[in-house]
Structure 1
Amino acid sequence: MADNQQPQFALQRIYVKDASFEAPNSPQAFSKEWKPEIKLDLNSGARKLDDNHYEVSVKVTITATNDGETAFLVELIQAGLFAMVNIPEQQLKPMLGAMCPNILFPYLRESIDNLVVKGGFPALMLAPINFDALFQQRLQQEAQQAQEAAAEQETTH
């Protein structure tokens, strides 16, 4: 089967899918010395919309506590619509799991910063995240789980 179609990749749209900001202890939180503890939860996902389109999203939850109280809580899902045509299967997973989240992250970072500043707090510039390393880590975990499951099946038979 000769396939003369070149692989095509295009970012069609970037959008905020969900955003939430809470500052449960304001305005009292503003009167304390600002030495926050920041807890960050991050994950990404992708879903196929049709043969050539995927939605990729990066979700972050940030909780900032200051002096033992929650100063703010931010949840944001930054998403993108990507067109992918004639991408080989072995390249598709790394593109969806690493390359697309790397494209989305600067937008997520800016949106988080805007929400935090508009909430009356000092800017919060998230450090860059290596989605390539996170993707490789996830692949290793999946491989290890598959090996453990196979070993478990062998011992039960």
Structure 2
Amino acid sequence: MAEENGAESPETTAGQDAPVMPKMQILGQFVRDLSFENIAAQKGVQGNTQPEVQMQIGVEGRKRQTENQYDVVIKLKIDSKTKEDNQQIFLIEMEYAGIFQIENIKQQQLHPFLHIECPRMLFPYVRRIVSDVTRDGGFPALNLDNVDFIQVYRNDLARRAQAKPHADA
């Protein structure tokens, strides 16, 4: 029994060494900018055309003036053209933003967190808006596939790394 009294209990050790869990809260989210151009209606494109949809997506994150608050913006461009003759059908450009309260994240992990985890939380709303806008524009609802924000982040880092040597020249 004397040995037990002198040793630290697992609860105490675990309590002291337990990592503090990250905390994220969405304080607000909104469409910052939205443009839908129904080119097919403007040009009078006829018939059932099979569209080819191309999507570009980017993410921006920045610190707000309030402590532990950050803006995250998903920038989306969707260009739909006919497969047959490459005529543009519609174009969507959207910026969807969220305001996040983030605590207990190490500084070196903050940038990937803002560009991966935060957009994951916002993307279902982006998907719904795109679906509604295309349907309301007279087209079948465009249901976007899930986006791999880890890959988007890696691509952005690679693009920045390639651009950096040119900036120094």
Q: TM-score, normalised by structure 2?
A: 0.75
**Cross-structure match for 2:144:** 126
Q: Is 2:103 the partner of 1:85?
A: yes
The residue number in structure 2 matching 1:61 is 77
1:43 to 48, 51, 58: 58
Offset, 1:143: 5.7
- Give the corresponding residue for 1:115: 133
Q: Cα RMSD (Å) of the superposition?
A: 2.4
Please tell me whether the aligned partners of residues 23 and 70 of structure 1 are also in contact (alpha carbons under 8 angstroms): no
Unaligned runs of 5+ in 1: none
Number of aligned residue pairs: give it: 145
Write the distance in 1 (CA, Å) between the matches of 2:79 and 2:143.
Answer: 14
Give the match's secondary structure for 1:26. helix
- Identical-pair percentage: 32
* Structure 2, unpaired ranges of 5+: 1-19
Cα distance, 1:74 vs structure 2:
0.7
Is 1:102 the equivalent of 2:120?
yes
**Cα distance in structure 2, aligned partners of 1:9 and 1:103:** 10
Farther off after superposition, 109-118 or 65-74? 65-74
